[in-house]
Amino acid sequence: MRRNLIAVFLGVVTIGVPLFAHHGAAAYDTSKKLALKGIVTEWFWANPHCFLRFDVTDDKGNVAHWAAETSNPSDMVHLGWSKQSFKPGDEVTVTVEPVKNGLPIGRIEQVALANGQILKARVVF
């Protein structure tokens, strides 16, 4: 059976983490990182934060409706993102920090597109 989830075992730890790394982090479990393969349903490109909605289907066919945020458009354009970065139906692998309360919500570390391109985010918001 085709695996729908891709595990990412890369945990890049840097020394001297600046304090701003946990900006707006109250809701997020910063000790976890999930790599989720799914299908885009919406890309919301607006203030205060952009967010990507995508459906993740497990091996049993259960669908989880995920929503994961980035910083605002003015930040994201400098990182190569745009309003046209995603459209419904796109296959993506989204690496997120999930929220602490267990809901399918997170903030994006990066998104890998089907064509191999990787869009990286920045947690300074």
Distance CA(24)–CA(35), nearest Å, equals 21
Is the CB of residue 49 less than 8 Å from the CB of residue 100? Answer: no
Interface with other proteins (CB under 8 A), residue total 67
Separation of first and last alpha carbons in the chain: 39
11 binds other proteins (CB under 8 A): yes
Is the CB of residue 47 less than 8 Å from the CB of residue 72? Answer: yes
Nearest-approach distance from CB 114 to other proteins, in angstroms: 19
List residues near other proteins by CB under 8 A.
5, 7-15, 17-28, 30-35, 44, 46-49, 51, 53, 56, 58-60, 62, 64-65, 67, 69, 72-75, 77-82, 99, 101, 103-105, 109-110, 120-125
